[in-house]
Amino acid sequence: MAVNKKSLKRLIVALDLEEKKKLNKIVKDLSGYIDKFKIGLIAYTKFGPQIITQLKSKGFKVFLDLKLLDIPNTVINTAKIFAKMRVWAFTVHLKMGENPLTLLKKELASFCRKNKLRKPLILGVTELTSEKASLKNVLKLASLASRVGLEGVIASSQEAPFIRRKYPKLKIITPGIRPPDYEQDDQRRVSSASFALNYADFIVVGRPIIKAKHPLAGVKKILSC
Ligand code: C5P
């Protein structure tokens, strides 16, 4: 089965694993196909920042999904470390509120300018795809992300068409992607990749790929549905 190269560029594989051997094998098997991996709480807690150095040394872009939610000083200084680690993007909870997010954006941009670093994309988490959520609430959070100048939001494919229409400049990153015959796991607001890619800039997929016997076959299956 052939894979569409443009879709591969829009697929971020979530390395939610704690076995290094397995993680390395998935990265190796997908090398040459996938250029972005997501490191979340599981892999970051298990392997520490070295996992980012390792992926970057192999030429991959790293999306660091630690979903920051704390006081401005803590979040801003953590984000500066992310920039020094040269992550491609990271997540913050939009629940942090307008003033803290505005300050984060401003301080990180100025830090990156001074230190000649590429500013990582700041992506705001709307509502987790594992929960039911009201469209109204997600749009309210997307509006906040747009107002404070974040580069994008994490939202399910159910809200993505509305966010795309109202806030065309915001990047949309969509988890909760499942082929029709695959179990939902703990995800609730799910869709196929082809539906999500009509609206989202990127899709994030973990278990349907990392638990597949052959991860590349998992990638092909996801992108064919
Ligand atoms: O295994 P699965 O495809 O469900 O993985 C989805 C990934 O996206 C997980 O790493 C999860 O932490 C992340 N995520 C999510 N919903 C959000 C934000 C991130 O599922 N709203």
The structure tokens listed for 148 are: 């404070």
**90-108 pLDDT tens trace:** 999 999 999 999 999 999 9
| Active-site residue (options: 22, 56, 61, 67) | 67
Q: Which residue reads 């200084």 in tokens?
A: 77
CATH of the domain at 71: 3.20.20.70
**176-200 pLDDT tens trace:** 999 888 888 888 888 999 999 999 9
Q: Is 124 in the pocket of ligand 1 (CB under 6 A)?
A: no
pLDDT of residue 3: 78
What total of structural domains would you count in the chain?
Answer: 1
The pTM (predicted TM-score) of the whole model is 0.96
C-beta contacts of 175-180 below 8 A and 24+ residues apart: 175/14, 175/129, 175/203, 175/204, 175/205, 175/206, 176/129, 176/130, 177/203, 177/204, 177/205, 177/208, 177/222, 178/208, 179/208, 179/221, 179/222, 179/225, 180/225
Tell me: pLDDT of 202 over 70: yes
Tell me: pLDDT of 1 over 70: no
Instruction: Say how many residues make up the chain.
Output: 225
Q: Which of 129, 158, 177, when mutated, tests ligand 1's pocket best, judged by the most ligand atoms within 8 Å of its CB?
A: 129
pLDDT of residue 214: 97
Residue 9 among the catalytic residues: no
Which range of residues forms the domain containing residue 162?
Answer: 5-224
pLDDT averaged over the chain?
A: 96
Which residue has the least CA distance to atom 19 on ligand 1? 175
pLDDT of residue 60: 98
Q: What is the mean pLDDT of residues 34-54?
A: 98
Tell me: pLDDT of 208 over 90: yes
pLDDT of residue 180: 85
User: What is the C-alpha R_g of the chain?
Assistant: 17
Q: Is 43 in the pocket of ligand 1 (CB under 6 A)?
A: no
Distance in Å, CA 175 to ligand 1 centroid: 5
Which residues lie across from 123 on neighbouring strands? 91, 152
Which residue has the least CA distance to atom 5 on ligand 1? 206
Q: Is 187 in the pocket of ligand 1 (CB under 6 A)?
A: yes
Distance in Å, CA 110 to ligand 1 centroid: 30
Which residue has the least CA distance to atom 13 on ligand 1? 175
Distance in Å, CA 170 to ligand 1 centroid: 19
Distance in Å, CA 114 to ligand 1 centroid: 33
pLDDT of residue 222: 95
Distance in Å, CA 207 to ligand 1 centroid: 9
